[in-house]
């Protein structure tokens, strides 16, 4: 539910007109950046060193830094907003050396989301979200308006959440607040350090999808740290695979990483199910959906049975009055009744988001032990049905074979 967000920071512009490359975004460039630590080994929490990092993230793209722990991903991220100062090298934001800017002002222009969220426990959600606007000296009413917009943007009802304290929220809700807070002053750059690492897989999937949807409108330049290769493939326009010693083993698109791993390390890090992982490159929305016979609650049964008769499928999909799918009913169950009722529906099929990767979709279908998943739009209304067969057909078309190991299947 993306509410239109008035760009308080830049009057006259609205988020709606921002397209994927024309938003408020900046390029981020690492230029031979090195960070060494003096011998403080063995202590917990020592950040990884970085060695001669050079990479360029175009404006409006998500660049995922992925790799095993201690390989310098987080260090690289924190050098952008200068929580850590590099030993040598430069970091250029829109061509300007970060070290030449006032550090406080620099940080206020960069969104920052971390795994532990770091919400202020003594402030309400509203105050937390409005943190940077307050630092920037916005007046009270403008701050509160902005906070409400952002809470709605990340899917939290402002009326319900504005006056709560962080301790009263679930992990997933806190993470949304963290994202809203980072977006408050409409920063051109966002740094996200394992932002969805502390929530369970189902919530994580949802937060990832929602964030990707947000990013379609926001088009920020985002540096995103994770140790999860699946998350990297899903979230990244670009992926930088870090290896121990603080160097980048490979920098490229997710498809390149999967199809042409640059080294044994990358091959091993990506894992043996590389072929299957390539399903993560595609989303539910990339596949042509199937249409199946449907009927709404309250409809007479007869026309529905007629539809079923002319269709190879033996099941009728029952929808509520807002076209939200309720579940399946077998043909035989419809024989002796007159009207469609909700209790006929068997809700065994998972409901899939259009941003869910095909790999996740497939695994959800297999897990639920069903052949078909329901694809719904933002309001939960039915868009179509995705079957295991369709995914298989699609994979064949894309030359994705679960057995492919060496990238030779790439066209």
Partner 1 sequence: MQEGRPLIDWVWISSNPDDILERVLQHIQLTALPLVLGFLISLALAIWALRQPRIYTPVIALTGLLYTVPSLAAFAVLRPIFGLSLLTAIIPLTTYTLLILFRNIVAGFQSVPPDVLEAAEAMGYTRRQRLWRVQIPLAVPLTIAGVRLAAVTVIGLATVASILGDAFGGLGQFITEGLQQLFPTKYLMGAALSVALAYLAHVLFVRLEKAVTPWATARARGIG
Give the footprint of partner 1 on this chain (CB under 8 A). Answer: 81, 83, 104-110, 112, 114, 116-123, 131-132, 135, 164-169, 181, 191
242 dihedral zone (left: phi>0; alpha: psi -120 to 50; beta) = beta
* 3-state helix/strand/coil string of 109-138: CEEEEECCCCCCCCCCHHHHHCHHHHHCCC
Nearer to partner 1, 85 or 343 (CB): 85
Nearest CB to partner 1, comparing residues 66 and 125: 125
CB of 74 to partner 1, least distance (A): 11
CB of 108 to partner 1, least distance (A): 4
Q: Are 25 and 220 a contacting pair, CB within 8 Å?
A: yes
Burial 52-85 (b: 16+ CB within 10 A, else e): ebebebebbbbbbbbbeebbbbbbbbbbbbbebe
- Please report, to the nearest 10 degrees, the dihedral formed by the alpha carbons of residues 360, 366, 371, 376 taken in order: -30
Q: How far is the CB of 344 from partner 1 (least distance, A)?
A: 38
Min dist. Cβ of residue 109 to partner 1 (A): 8
- Shortest gap between Cβ of 73 and partner 1 (angstroms)? 16
At closest approach, how far in Å is the CB of 233 from partner 1?
27
Q: Which is nearer to partner 1, 51 or 123 (CB)?
A: 123
Quick check: 263 and 249 in contact, CB under 8 A?
A: yes
In Å, how far from its chain's centre is CA 88?
33
Residue 42 or residue 45: which is nearer to partner 1 going by CB? 45
Q: Specify the residue, 110 or 240, whose C-beta has the smaller distance to partner 1.
A: 110
Alpha helices in 301-350 (DSSP H): 301-309
Nearer to partner 1, 141 or 167 (CB): 167
CA distance 296 to 329: 12
CA dihedral 319, 325, 330, 334 (to 10 degrees): -10
We find the least distance from the C-beta atom of residue 385 to partner 1, in angstroms, to be 38
Nearer to partner 1, 26 or 132 (CB): 132
170 closest CA partner among 214, 220, 206:
206
Beta bridge partners of 222: 62, 190
Q: Which is nearer to partner 1, 106 or 292 (CB)?
A: 106
Pull the structure tokens for residue 11.
Answer: 């009057």
Q: Please state the closest distance from residue 329 (CB atom) to partner 1, in A.
A: 39
Min dist. Cβ of residue 52 to partner 1 (A): 25
* Cα distance between residue 251 and residue 65, in whole Å: 9
- Find where tokens 């830049």 sit: 10
> If you count them, how many residues does the chain have?
411
Distance linking the first and last C-alpha atoms of the chain: 38
Of the pair 61, 181, the CB lying nearest partner 1 is at 181
């Amino acid at each position: 539910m993306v509410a239109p967000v008035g760009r308080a920071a830049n009057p006259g512009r609205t988020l709606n007109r921002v397209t994927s490359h024309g938003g408020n975004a900046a390029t981020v460039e690492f230029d031979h950046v090195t960070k060494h630590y003096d011998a403080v080994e063995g202590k917990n929490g020592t950040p990884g060193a970085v060695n001669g990092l050079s990479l360029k993230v175009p404006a409006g793209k998500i660049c995922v830094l992925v790799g095993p722990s201690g390989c310098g991903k987080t260090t690289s991220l924190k050098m952008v907003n200068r929580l850590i100062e590099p030993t040598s090298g430069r970091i250029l934001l829109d061509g300007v050396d970060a070290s030449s800017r006032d550090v406080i002002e620099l940080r206020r222009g960069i969104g920052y989301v971390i795994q532990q969220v770091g919400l202020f426990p003594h402030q309400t959600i509203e105050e937390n979200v409005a943190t940077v606007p307050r630092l920037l000296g916005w007046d009270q009413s403008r701050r509160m308006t902005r906070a409400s917009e952002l809470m709605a943007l990340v899917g939290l009802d402002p009326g319900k959440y504005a006056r709560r304290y962080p301790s009263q929220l679930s992990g997933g809700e806190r993470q949304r607040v963290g994202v809203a807070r980072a977006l408050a002053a409409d920063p051109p750059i966002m740094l996200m350090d394992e932002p969805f690492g502390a929530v369970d897989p189902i919530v994580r999937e949802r937060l990832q999808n929602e964030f990707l949807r947000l990013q379609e409108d926001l088009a920020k330049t985002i540096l995103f740290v994770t140790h999860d290769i699946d998350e990297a493939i899903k979230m990244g326009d670009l992926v930088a695979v870090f290896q121990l010693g603080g160097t980048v083993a490979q920098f490229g698109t997710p498809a390149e990483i999967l199809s042409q791993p640059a080294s044994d390390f990358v091959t091993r890090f990506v894992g043996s199910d590389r072929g299957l992982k390539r399903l993560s490159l595609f989303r539910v929305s990339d596949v042509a959906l199937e249409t199946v016979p449907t009927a709404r609650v309250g409809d007479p049964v007869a026309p529905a049975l007629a539809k079923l008769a002319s269709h190879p499928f033996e099941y009728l999909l029952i929808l509520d009055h807002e076209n939200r799918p309720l579940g399946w009913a077998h043909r035989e169950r419809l024989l002796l009744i007159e009207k469609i009722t909700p209790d006929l529906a068997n809700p065994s099929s998972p409901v899939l988001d259009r941003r869910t990767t095909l790999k996740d979709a497939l695994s959800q279908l297999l897990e639920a032990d069903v052949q078909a998943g329901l694809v719904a739009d933002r309001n939960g209304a039915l868009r179509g049905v995705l079957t295991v067969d369709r995914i298989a057909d699609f994979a064949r078309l894309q030359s994705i074979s679960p057995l492919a190991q060496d990238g030779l299947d790439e066209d």
